[in-house]
Each structure stands twice: as C-alpha cells, then as structure tokens.
Amino acid sequence: MTDSKTIPSLWKLVVDPETISRCISRISYEILERDRDHNLAIVGIKTAGEHLARRIHDRIEQLENRKVPFGVIDITLYRDDLLISGTKPLLKGTDLPFEVSGSRIVLVDDVLFTGRTIRAALDAIIDFGRPSRVELAALVDRGHKELPIKADYVGKNLPTQRKDSIKVRLKEMGFDDDGVYLV
C-alpha cells in the first residue's frame, strides 16, 4: 500500500528533477514580472497541471508574501472528442473559488501538444466569467500543435516525433521523484 509507484525501465528520462525544479522557479519569477495590476490567479488543468500549478502558486505566495487565488479545472466536459472517443470519461471536478471576471489567469498544464486541451480549458474558464487576460504556462512544449495556441511560459522545449508519448511523473502523483519521460 505505501510503496510508491515505479517507472518502467524502458522509459527514457528527458527532464530530470533538478531541471523541473528550476523551471518552476523561473516560470514563477516570469509570471510575477508581468504582475502589474495585482489581479493574478493561478489555475491548474487536471491532473498533472494541478500539481505544477500548486507549486508555482506556492512559490509566488512565498516570494510575494501575499495570498494569490488558486483554482483547478477539469476539461472533460469541454473536450472536442467526447462524441468520438471510445473511452468512458470520468469527471474530476472544477473549482474556481475566486472572481474570474477581471482576473489575470495563468493556466498551467504539464505538456503542450496539440493545443486542444488548452482550447477546452479556455471555453471552461469563459463559462465562469470574463478574465482580463489568460496566459499559458507549460512544463514541456513538445510541438505538433493543431490549433493557433502558444505558451507564454515554457519550462522546456522538447522536439518530439508525433507518435512519441511524453509522460510527466510527479511526487504528488505517488512517484519517488519528479521526471519527464519519453515512452
């Protein structure tokens, strides 16, 4: 029960724990640099994005010594493949406990790939109000976008093949250490 989850030996580590930690720090500073109106809110996209968003959020609160709103969104209800995919989606829940209208929202996700998740997340946010601005932070940008969506803050650019699979594994998900893997 208490054993942590293991990474298959064939997976190739492409971003190590130290680099992930530095990326989180740098992104936190970059987000703060643009915080002119003090209306910042950090929003994670479930599931891995939530943990990364939480780290960035905690870092920013620590640096600034003030409270910053935090929320999570589950994009399942907004997916554009709901009617075609064969999987039975399980809902994970959305919680945006702050006034969305007028906020500068920084969306956080683990991997930016086709951009479809971000498109769905934007739709979800707009159902809650009209933010003054929405920005995007991603730990990894792996290319192959299918929509005109670009990240404002990128941890690591990783050139990949389209057929590759990139997995982000974090301590918060029950793993021994953080890592980004090529599968």
Partner 1 sequence: MMTGCTLSNLLGIRYTSKEKFLEILHNSTQFVEVNQRAIKKVPSLRGRSIINLFLEPSTRTRVSFELAGKRLSADTINISGSESSTKKGETLLDTVKTIAAMAPDAVVIRSSASGAPEFLAERTDNISIINAGDGLNEHPTQALLDCLSIKERLGKLEGLKVAIVGDVYHSRVARSNVMAHRLLGNEVRLVGPETLVPSKLISADLLRPITTDNPGRLTVHSCLEEGLSGVDVVMVLRMQLERQSNFFVPSLEEYSKEYGISEKVISKYCPDAVVLHPGPINRGVEISSELAYGSRSLIARQVELGVAVRMAVLFTLLAGGHEG
Using rule CB under 8 A, residue 94 touches partner 1: yes
Rg (CA), the chain: 16
Considering the complex, state which of residue 127 and residue 177 has its C-beta at the smaller distance from partner 1: 127
Among 1, 91, 148, 163, binds partner 1 (CB under 8 A): 91
**Selected range binding partner 1 among 54-62, 64-72, 83-91, 104-112, rule: CB under 8 A:** 83-91
Among 17, 69, 129, 143, binds partner 1 (CB under 8 A): 129
Considering the complex, state which of residue 78 and residue 113 has its C-beta at the smaller distance from partner 1: 78
- How many residues bind partner 1 (CB under 8 A)? The answer is 23
SS (H, E, C) the chain: CCCCECCCCCCEEEECHHHHHHHHHHHHHHHHHCCCCCCEEEEEECCHHHHHHHHHHHHHHHHHCCCCCEEEECCHHHCCCCCCCCCCCCCCCCECCCCCCCCEEEEEEEEECCCHHHHHHHHHHHCCCCCCEEEEEEEEECCCCCCCCCCCEEEEECCCCCCCCEEEECHHHCECCCEEEEC
Considering the complex, state which of residue 58 and residue 123 has its C-beta at the smaller distance from partner 1: 123
Using rule CB under 8 A, residue 97 touches partner 1: no
**Selected range binding partner 1 among 6-14, 30-38, 62-70, 76-84, rule: CB under 8 A:** 76-84
Among 89, 102, 130, 146, binds partner 1 (CB under 8 A): 89
Beta strands, E only, 46-87: 70-73
Using rule CB under 8 A, residue 83 touches partner 1: yes
**Selected range binding partner 1 among 17-25, 80-88, 138-146, 158-166, rule: CB under 8 A:** 80-88
